[in-house]
């Protein structure tokens, strides 16, 4: 499958969101911690854009968007569970399985 660039762009976007939250949250963290988080967010977003543009060229906009959003959504939940101890409900997990099934279906012809 040629979806790895689109999947990676979704994972990078989710990761950038975590660092964005760290850099812009109202907290007592030192300024250099927030600056570091902002720079990492910026770097992750720039790489995300790089990979999504490459994926647009290879797969087209529709497939790339679906794959990117699915991986972004799934990885965001994974990070929320890992970092913020949020729970993932069975309904949410079922939806995630359906999303990945959809990704497999739209890529079955490539």
Q: Where are the domains of the chain?
A: 4-106
Confidence of residue 1 (pLDDT cuts 50, 70, 90): low
What's phi and psi for 25, nearest 5 deg?
-70, 150
pLDDT of residue 105: 87
Q: Two tokens at 80?
A: 């929320």
**Segment 59-82, tens digit of pLDDT:** 999 889 989 999 999 999 899 899
DSSP state of 25: S
Q: Two tokens at 64?
A: 């790339």
Q: Two tokens at 65?
A: 């968007």
Distance, CA of 70 to CA of 28 (rounded, Å): 34
């Amino acid at each position: 499958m040629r979806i790895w660039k689109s999947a990676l762009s979704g994972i990078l976007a989710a990761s950038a969101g975590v660092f964005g939250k760290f850099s812009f949250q109202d907290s007592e963290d030192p300024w250099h911690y927030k600056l570091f988080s902002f720079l990492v967010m910026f770097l992750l977003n720039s790489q995300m854009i790089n990979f999504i543009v490459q994926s647009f060229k290879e797969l087209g906009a529709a497939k790339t968007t679906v794959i990117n959003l699915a991986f972004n959504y799934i990885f965001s939940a994974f990070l929320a569970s890992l970092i913020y101890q949020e729970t993932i409900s069975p309904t949410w997990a079922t939806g995630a399985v359906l999303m990945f099934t959809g990704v497999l279906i739209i890529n079955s012809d490539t």
